[in-house]
Structure 1
């Protein structure tokens, strides 16, 4: 667990029921008193009962990029941190924060019950930005439904999972983003293709001419520099329910300055990959970017980079939250997850197969073959 956090795993503080209710208390509708929830695709919170809406006030200053090394060396200015209540899933390991005062909760990944009395308080680095949900739950049902219809031999329970709201949760995922000025010097080689004509014997034993490509190598060296913007590094990991790469693409130009109102009505997963580890991953990405820039600078038809010295400066970071819908259910003792990108609607998931549907399909196929043989084999 990150040293930025004030409490370690052994220091988790149980919350009394009164504290939980106070922590989870959200803004009430001025007309009917019901809880106001974020309305996907807008900058408003609204009442599901009377339709009253209020505009979310965004910070006019925009995002605040935090200096990286004060956090890594001094473990953070607490003005950028706050205490939140957390629920830990003992089955899959996900750490979840729920904005609503639910009486009963289930893990968004594996569907296992979460016990409210097990809640504890923990510090986290306050998100600097959030990409609010752009599609609502009803739209996610339609996407699920279309996807399920295309699946052959899916069990009937899958059809129910795609249609029943209790199986689908809106989840904000934690990510780190890193910015930096990158500079690198390199030594390498530039390769230029040329062709030689040769006579070779083909598969039929005949002599034919053939163009053979070869490469001339020339020494190359130089330097490159530029700005690396918003290197995206995932900040959570658990035993199951990892987000497929297919849907892990968001348009970060839609990020909004963080406001907790965007979280109302949704579950927020807390980061479990600490800032220091996320930074190490971002340096690996930066090295790949630097090598690509070096190859572009070398030019030619192909390149070799034999040595490279990379430096990063003016490094900053943000903790951001990105939207996804998750559907989780168990079939014959196994857990299955289905994911929809809450910004663009991309879907991906694992699926079970119905033994009986396959069995009867095979049986029907054999019956058809048998009838064809019976009638046309005479």
Structure 2
């Protein structure tokens, strides 16, 4: 019985000892199919034989500077992914009806997408200002029936006081996409992922799926992670400042115990054709979340606008008829 391995977070300092990869991966990986012995070239870590669909999995250690540490296995099969997609297209009233037919026939492709996760202990020193509200009575004049009258009103003002302090926060599993093959905004929409369910990496999980290699180096991923931490730290600073309003002038953050790992996340991809254009949909293969582009039907939108216009016209008509009855 093999001893079950733990998912390990690696100290960021270890990266210095790893050789930098060439900017362009040195050649494609050539897989020889164990089934039909056909040769498939691929730049992925795992793929299928193009002739007999036998799963092909590369040895990550031989190909990559950083080997995957964890994998979130596929939890939703192809059929369930189709079902999620059907629900998604049904709930999109503005999509053309033919879209609902087109999704039935299309094929899904399961892919693992590389992501970096980062842990860090942060301490931030900040300077800023705290705003305290107070009320002042203001006198003003008004002309009433040709007479000038003095009136008073309460006006809210803010007094600003210098503020500074230190806040600390531990970040766990800040997620950064490791591949630029899918736009980051799209991938962010697939969140949240059930990251605690990730298991130690084993090649068997990759069999039958395409596994995309990372093209964002872990050092660059860390800079993205820090950008993702910044708004959270800024919010900590403003809540530390207190008062009614806050201004943050400077933040100086130190990071310690920074660790990273490479994690593979499961996504079903579907490309469907509609009106001569290819549209892409992604399904989170753990949560069933569907993200995609969809065509809008000009006719359906026109009908909806017309219906709204008719409702407005009917309301106006009723109001006018009521008025004419009263007169």
Match in the other structure for 2:135: 195
Shift of 1:289: 2.9
Which aligned pairs between 1:325-344 and structure 2 lie closer than 5 A? 325-344=268-287
- Counterpart check, 1:125 vs 2:66: yes
Aligned to 1:19: none
The 1-side partners of 2:156 and 2:6 are apart by 54
SS of 1:141's partner is helix
Alignment-derived partner of residue 12 in structure 2: 68
Give 1:61 deviation, angstroms.
4.0
Structure 1 equivalent of residue 76 of structure 2: 135
Structure having greater relative contact order (Cα 8 Å, sep ≥ 6) = 2
- Give how far 1:326 is off: 1.3
Shift of 1:338: 0.9
Q: Is residue 175 of structure 1 aligned with residue 115 of structure 2?
A: yes
- 1: CA distance between counterparts of 2:48 and 2:168? 47
- Quote the Cα distance in structure 1 between the aligned partners of 2:302 and 2:229: 54
Instruction: Tell me by how many angstroms 1:244 deviates.
Output: 4.9
Change (3 A) 1:325 1:293: same
Distance 2:88 2:280 in 1: 13
C-alpha displacement of 1:216: 1.8
- Distance verdict in 2 for CA 1:151–1:300, change over 3 Å: same
CA distance in 2, matches of 1:201, 1:262: 79
SS in 2 for 1:352: coil
Taking a change above 3 Å as real, the CA distance of residues 261 and 214 of structure 1, as seen in their structure-2 partners, is farther
Aligned-pair Cα RMSD in Å = 3.8
Structure with higher Rg: it is 2
CA distance in 2, matches of 1:263, 1:321: 9
Task: Tell me the residue number matched to 1:255.
Answer: 198
* Structure 1 segment 17-36 matched on structure 2, within 5 A: none
Q: Which deviations, in whole Å up to 9, do the C-alpha atoms of 1:85-128 show, x marking residues without a partner? A: 489xxxxxx953434434278xxxxxxxxxxxxxxx84252111
1:297 aligns with 2:297: no
Unmatched runs of 5 consecutive residues or more in structure 1: 1-56, 88-93, 106-120, 366-378
How much has 1:133 moved relative to structure 2? 2.0
Q: Secondary structure at the match of 1:329?
A: strand
TM-score normalised according to structure 1 size: 0.62
Change (3 A) 1:123 1:86: farther
1:98 matched residue in structure 2: 46
Give, in whole Å, the separation in 2 of the partners of 1:345 and 1:231: 22
CA deviation after TM superposition for structure 1 residue 177, in Å: 0.7
- Provide the C-alpha distance between the structure 2 equivalents of 1:360 and 1:304, rounded to a whole number of angstroms: 47
How many residues in Structure 1 have an aligned counterpart in Structure 2?
Answer: 279
